Amino acid sequence: MSKQVLNVDDVYVSYGPIKAVRGCSLSINEGEAVAVIGANGAGKSTLLRAISNLVRRQSGEITIEGKSIGRRPPHVLAKEGMLHVPEGRGTIGGLTVWENLRLSHEGTNNSEPFERALERVYSQFAQLRERRDQKAGNLSGGEQQMLALSRVLISPPQLLLIDEPSLGLAPALVDEAFRLLRTFQLQGTTMLLVEQNARRALEFAHRVYILQQGEIVVEGRGADLLKNLDSLQKWLGAA
């Protein structure tokens, strides 16, 4: 039986009077790819931010391998093996590609020499080698996504949280992003994916949770939900 990596139990998050996440519970087993989908404003990104302690939860418990994350700050969780790639990719525009990669490596407990990890990135993303001295903010959208995903290669995480990997990408680059995510998953990376493109998420994920107004309204196997995608549109809006 697979080991449980993440458990989210009855979590609530509010922004003032707005209840963004309401009683959400989910779990992910080792090596599993799980997706959270829903319309814009459903609370998907807030849920990810709660899991990585980027926003404070009002109540509920979140555990990694049975241990509560408590109030440990995001950089501590990163050193413990959680990698959060936020919407907008989370690269630092004023730093070069090389500096972004170096910072990602230093933010983990990876004992592998940086240059060796860097070569692994460059073997997958040849364009980043060519752009190594270029500021990340001057990269194309596709190159910025490559840089964001390269953080997984620099130091493979125990748990990957990734928010909207297809956002703003051309169709061919969307295919490439999901191909890379599948490669990471096949190599054993456990991941929680938030994605506005419901069809791609259902095709990709083992299991899927649908959020509506901060609540989980549907959960099931991705392949099963994909067969009934039309019937899910009342919860997905334009997704």
CATH code of the domain containing 213: 3.40.50.300
Per-residue model confidence (pLDDT) at position 21: 97
**Measured in Å, how far apart are the chain's first and last C-alpha atoms?**
34
**In a shared domain, residues 67 and 171:** yes
- Regarding predicted confidence, which is higher, 90 or 59? 59
**Where a domain ends, among 103, 121, 156?**
156
Q: What are the tokens at 70?
A: 């408590």
> Which phi and psi (to 5°) does residue 11 adopt?
-90, 135
**In a shared domain, residues 193 and 229:** yes
Number of domains the chain contains = 2
Per-residue model confidence (pLDDT) at position 2: 77
Q: What are the tokens at 179?
A: 């191909």
**In a shared domain, residues 73 and 170:** yes
**In a shared domain, residues 190 and 149:** no
**In a shared domain, residues 180 and 238:** yes
**In a shared domain, residues 162 and 77:** yes
Separation of alpha carbons 54 and 139, rounded Å = 26
Q: What is the pLDDT averaged over residues 57-83? A: 93
Separation of alpha carbons 11 and 21, rounded Å = 7
**In a shared domain, residues 178 and 143:** no
**In a shared domain, residues 182 and 140:** no
Q: What is the pLDDT averaged over residues 91-102? A: 91
Mean pLDDT of the chain, nearest integer: 90
Per-residue model confidence (pLDDT) at position 187: 87
- Picking from 54, 42, 9, the residue whose alpha carbon sits closest to that of residue 195 is 42
Per-residue model confidence (pLDDT) at position 218: 95
Per-residue model confidence (pLDDT) at position 143: 86
- Domain residue limits at 141: 90-156
**In a shared domain, residues 71 and 98:** no
pLDDT in tens, 209-222: 999 999 999 999 99
- Picking from 165, 189, 220, the residue whose alpha carbon sits closest to that of residue 29 is 189
Q: What is the pLDDT averaged over residues 221-233? A: 92
**In a shared domain, residues 54 and 109:** no
Q: What are the tokens at 205?
A: 């994920």
- Picking from 25, 20, 23, the residue whose alpha carbon sits closest to that of residue 9 is 25
pLDDT-derived band at 239 (thresholds 50, 70, 90) equals very low
**In a shared domain, residues 146 and 203:** no
**In a shared domain, residues 65 and 142:** no
Q: Tokens 């404070």 correspond to what residue? A: 56
- What burial class does residue 208 get, using C-beta atoms within 10 Å of its C-beta: 0-12 exposed, 13-18 middle, 19+ buried? buried
**Where a domain ends, among 103, 129, 156?**
156
Q: Would you say residue 62 has pLDDT above 90?
A: yes
- What burial class does residue 8 get, using C-beta atoms within 10 Å of its C-beta: 0-12 exposed, 13-18 middle, 19+ buried? buried
For the whole model, what pTM was predicted? 0.88
